[in-house]
Amino acid sequence: MIVRLLVGPLQANCYLVGCRKTGEAVVIDPGGDVPRIVAEAVKRNFQIRTLLNTHGHWDHTAGNAELKGITGAPVFIHAADAGQLSTKPDGFLEEGREVSFGTYTLRVLHTPGHSPGGVCLASPGIVFTGDTLFEGSIGRTDLEGGSHQKLIQGVRQKLFAMADEVRVYPGHGPQTTIGREKRDNPFFR
């Protein structure tokens, strides 16, 4: 089960992803509004086991320390973005690493460009893209450590290699699909 919450002043997408069978869950990009995240987990009888950050920008990470304090869940991020966190990470999201909870596994795809440590998290049929890929757009590459070339290359090689029907859950804005972005996203024409 995937629950999308708009959090923080920039209304970033935060995802509570839980296994109905075991009750284990992860939170992807806890950018704020921690009481709402906790309330959603309680409402669904989910135990938050891990906090995953797609990149280090504050609008996606601001709730890490508070949520870790409440749940005891470890915080993970790519090593290249770890210095941007206000709390020390418990581990790193390197290319190919798998994060398991309940009956689900998320595989890490390193997709730098929006930030040096940007990652996407993929599972069969779905991918959480953070600020790498949006509906009809891509993440900014003009921020410190950004690279337009690396972002475009990462999307083409790693995300666009996925099946067209794979659902994309971005860091901002609505859900889309890999097929729609291959066909319609102006950054890839």
Q: Where are the domains of the chain?
A: 2-82+91-188
What pTM, to 2 d.p., does this model score? 0.97
Query: Domain 2-82+91-188, CATH 3.60.15.10 — does that match?
Result: yes
- Pairwise CA distance, residues 109 & 111, whole Å: 6
Q: Residue type at 54?
A: T
Q: 125 is written with which tokens? A: 């049929």
Q: 32 is written with which tokens? A: 């704020």
- Cβ neighbors of 48 (< 8 A, separation 6 or more) are 16, 25, 26, 27, 37, 38, 41, 67, 71, 73
| Full pLDDT tens readout for the chain, 189 residues | 999 999 999 999 999 999 999 999 999 999 999 999 999 999 999 999 999 999 999 999 999 999 999 999 999 999 999 999 999 999 999 999 999 999 999 999 999 999 999 999 999 999 999 999 999 999 999 999 999 999 999 999 999 999 999 999 999 999 999 999 999 999 998
> Hey, which residues does 77 pair with through a beta bridge?
92
